[in-house]
């Protein structure tokens, strides 16, 4: 896994894309080389937090913000439902690890495509909050979301096999 630094002197969009991609790559790095059983291992039972759950959760988050809200696509949730809002974490099972990993990678490509060409000032209405938001806010929020969850991933990975690092 090779993480690349973004543009150190780029414009705003290049900077936001660079930081977001760095965190996306970092989450993948935290999952690299593990078995399905290790990826699905819960960090601190009874919590359902696991590396696989984080991958599944970020698949949902990427889809929701980039494809549904910014891109205006009718993309339903992947794992979660109204009846099972935490299925991204609760149903993270070793047998689905390979498919879930692939779904995350596909969603990253689709999220990037949905954001391409969208100006940072583009406004959309968040359906649940009935609030206007712009693409810039989504980028900052996603960087925050990844930063928080990469911190979780770092601790989970250390617990699995002792591996640490940035």
Query: Residue 109 has which token pair?
Result: 């490509």
Q: What kind of architecture, by CATH, is found in domain 12-161? A: Up-down Bundle (1.20)
Query: Which of 58, 6, 1 shows the shortest CA–CA distance to 31?
Result: 1
Alpha-carbon distance 53 to 57, whole Å? 6
Q: Which residues pair with 134 in a beta bridge?
A: 123
DSSP 29: H
Domain residue spans in the chain?
12-161
> What is the number of residues in the chain?
166
Going 93 to 96 to 97 to 100, the CA torsion angle's sign is negative
Give the pLDDT confidence score for residue 1 in this predicted structure. 63
pLDDT in tens, the chain (166 residues): 677 777 777 899 999 999 999 999 999 999 999 999 999 999 888 999 999 999 999 999 999 999 999 999 998 999 999 999 999 999 999 999 999 999 999 999 999 999 999 999 999 999 888 999 999 999 999 999 999 999 999 999 999 999 987 7
Q: What is the pTM (predicted TM-score) of this model?
A: 0.94
Give the pLDDT confidence score for residue 40 in this predicted structure. 98
DSSP 118: -
126 φ/ψ angles, rounded to the nearest 5 degrees: -75, 120
């Amino acid at each position: 896994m090779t993480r690349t630094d973004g543009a150190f002197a780029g414009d705003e969009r290049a900077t936001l894309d660079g930081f977001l991609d760095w965190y996306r790559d970092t989450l993948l790095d935290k999952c690299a080389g593990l078995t399905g059983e290790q990826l699905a291992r819960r960090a601190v039972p009874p919590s359902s937090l696991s590396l696989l759950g984080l991958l599944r959760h970020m698949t949902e988050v990427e889809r929701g913000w980039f494809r549904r809200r910014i891109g205006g696509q009718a993309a339903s949730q992947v794992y979660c439902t109204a009846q099972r809002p935490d299925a991204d974490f609760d149903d993270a099972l070793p047998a689905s690890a390979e498919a879930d990993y692939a779904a995350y990678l596909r969603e990253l490509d689709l999220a990037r495509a949905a954001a391409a060409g969208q100006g940072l000032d583009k406004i959309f209405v968040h359906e649940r909050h009935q609030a206007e938001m712009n693409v810039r806010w989504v980028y900052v929020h996603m960087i925050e979301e990844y930063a928080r969850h990469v911190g979780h991933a770092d601790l989970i990975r250390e617990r699995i096999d002792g591996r640490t690092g940035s």
